[in-house]
């Protein structure tokens, strides 16, 4: 059986000598033990963006920037619901946080009429 290739990870000392350490790889660096925390992968990510363009480039507002971009990077399929889908070029390149190359599908939110 071929083992999946894993890229990345983080070395942490939190959890050494506790139940957290169980089943994880412990690495010795200059006489200190470190736990290797492997990256998380997801099949799907359902995220929300303030704006998207027709190529899937995403811009977020406020706290949506905290986890939506990270979840998009971790998933094989990225579904994004956007407040507004705009023509390409309407989102400043400086405001694009998630590039359209990793967004699988855009979902437009229906406008609420009061």
- Categorize the per-residue pLDDT at 1 as very low, low, confident or very high, splitting at 50, 70 and 90: very low
> How far apart, in Å, do the first and last CA atoms of the chain sit?
59
User: CA-CA distance, 31 to 46, in Å (whole number)?
Assistant: 42
Model confidence pLDDT, tens digit, residues 23-78: 999 999 999 999 999 888 899 999 999 999 999 999 999 999 999 999 999 999 99
Model confidence pLDDT, tens digit, residues 25-38: 999 999 999 999 98
Phi, psi of 94 (to 5 degrees): -70, -20
Q: Are residues 67 and 15 in the same domain?
A: no
Question: Is 48 inside a domain boundary?
Answer: yes
Question: Is 30 inside a domain boundary?
Answer: yes
Least Cα distance to 57 among 21, 18, 90, 23 occurs for 90
pLDDT beyond 80 at 3: no
Q: Are residues 56 and 102 in the same domain?
A: yes
Q: Are residues 73 and 95 in the same domain?
A: yes
Question: Is 99 inside a domain boundary?
Answer: yes
Mean of the pLDDT values across residues 91-108?
96
């Amino acid at each position: 059986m071929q083992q999946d290739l894993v890229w990345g990870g983080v070395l942490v000392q939190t959890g050494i000598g506790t139940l957290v350490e169980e089943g994880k790889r412990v690495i010795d660096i200059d006489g200190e033990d470190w736990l290797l925390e492997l990256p998380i992968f997801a099949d799907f990510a359902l995220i929300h963006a303030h704006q998207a363009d027709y190529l899937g480039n995403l811009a977020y507002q406020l706290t949506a920037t905290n986890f939506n971009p990270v979840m998009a990077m971790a998933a094989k399929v990225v579904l994004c619901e956007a407040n507004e889908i705009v023509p390409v070029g309407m989102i400043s390149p400086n405001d694009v946080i998630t590039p359209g190359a990793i967004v699988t599908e855009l979902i437009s939110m229906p406008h609420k009429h009061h």
